[in-house]
């Protein structure tokens, strides 16, 4: 009985590692079995994390190349994937980068700074609202882009709306199959995103995701996770970025994408080395198989000992004079251990649900 649990855990976590799933804590094996909902960060988890600029529409009287050059110069100061996409679009047009002063990155909103003597603000609809800049000029176009799963953003120059742009982040090829597999396991899937409601729900509908929590600021992810726990029960959160670390730590089971940041990996209970959401399905499969194997070991070890210990103690001697020879008792004890270890080794044959 002393071998029943640790042997299964050792074999199970070893097999998980072969499948690209690293359990940093043994308790995560049991925690995953109890999960009822999987909450997933969008960027870098459901998507490739490599957005591209798809649309750039300027207001009346604004030169498109000049506006793109100004914004790209500002974005060049940031390492955010969206910023890199805008800079790449400007470089394709061979637009040079201009010097920037007083640059500031506003988490979850956008960036600001002075470029070539002009004050620029670039970012989300929320940023424009904070600046009291009217974006109704692009409202219809923004709604259309959002329904296509693109993320609308805005550029303001000296306090005036100058342009609307949209970026799109391609969905990983393995994501749809992973979400279908999670549904087949009886789990709900929720997407947590900083995108506006229209964009987030368009992507969720495309992937058949059950629920969406949109327009979430980075600092609000923990609160979103806690609300989902109250609504659905035990929750696993999947993320990859620095901003995901607090949510990974607060979830019942935190699952980090191995291609993400070191901070996210350190905060997680499980690490997916493949960088694909399919690893979550394989982790759940290993968890359920290992816990089932432990229960089998405990049952048979207990039943085995419950049957033979009384015989070894002489319970049958008054009835028919039967006693268990010490040699047979030692052999029976060894066979008990052999059975438990052999049963645990069957976990090495657990196959990946999704490659």
Residue 20 · residue 273 · CB < 8 Å: yes
101 by Cβ neighbours in 10 Å (0-12 / 13-18 / 19+) ranks as exposed
Q: Tell me if residue 266 is catalytic.
A: no
Q: What is the CA radius of gyration of the chain?
A: 28
Find the angle CA(42)-CA(23)-CA(245) to the nearest 5 degrees: 40
d(CA 12, CA 292) in angstroms, rounded, equals 11
**Choosing from 41, 55, 195, 252, which is the catalytic residue?**
41
Residue 51 · residue 83 · CB < 8 Å: no
d(CA 29, CA 22) in angstroms, rounded, equals 11
H/E run at residue 166 = strand 160-168
3-state helix, strand, coil in the chain (%, to 5): 50, 20, 30
Which residues are tagged catalytic?
Answer: 41
């Amino acid at each position: 009985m002393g071998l029943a649990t640790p042997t299964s855990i050792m074999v199970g976590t070893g097999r998980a590692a072969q499948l690209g799933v690293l359990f940093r804590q043994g308790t995560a094996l049991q925690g995953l079995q109890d999960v009822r909902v999987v909450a997933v960060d969008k960027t870098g988890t459901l998507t490739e994390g490599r957005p591209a600029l798809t649309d750039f529409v300027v207001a009346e009287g604004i030169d498109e190349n000049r506006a793109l050059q100004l914004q790209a110069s500002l974005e060049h100061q940031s390492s955010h994937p969206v910023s890199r996409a805008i800079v790449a679009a400007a470089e394709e047009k061979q637009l040079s980068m201009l010097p920037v002063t007083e640059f500031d990155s506003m988490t979850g909103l956008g960036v600001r700074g002075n470029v070539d003597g002009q004050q620029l603000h670039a970012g989300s609809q929320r940023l424009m609202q904070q600046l009291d800049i009217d974006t109704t000029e692009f409202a219809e176009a923004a709604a259309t882009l959002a329904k296509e799963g693109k993320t609308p953003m805005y550029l303001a120059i000296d306090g005036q709306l100058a342009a609307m742009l949209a970026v799109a982040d391609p969905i990983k090829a393995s994501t749809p199959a992973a979400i279908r597999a999670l549904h087949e396991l009886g789990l709900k899937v929720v997407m947590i995103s900083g995108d506006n409601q229209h964009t987030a729900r368009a992507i969720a509908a495309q992937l058949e995701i059950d629920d969406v929590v949109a327009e979430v600021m980075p600092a609000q992810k923990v609160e979103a996770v806690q609300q989902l726990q109250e609504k659905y029960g035990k929750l696993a959160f999947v993320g990859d970025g620095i901003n995901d670390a607090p949510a990974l730590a607060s979830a019942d089971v935190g699952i980090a994408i191995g291609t993400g940041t070191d901070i996210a990996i350190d905060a997680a209970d499980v690490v997916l080395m493949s960088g694909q959401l399919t690893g979550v399905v394989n982790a759940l499969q290993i968890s359920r198989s290992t816990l089932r194997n432990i229960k089998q070991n405990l049952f048979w070890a207990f039943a085995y000992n419950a049957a033979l210990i009384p015989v070894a103690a002489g319970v049958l001697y008054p009835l028919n004079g039967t006693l268990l020879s010490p040699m047979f008792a030692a052999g029976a004890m060894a066979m008990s251990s052999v059975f438990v270890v052999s049963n645990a080794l069957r976990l090495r044959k657990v196959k990946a649900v999704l490659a």
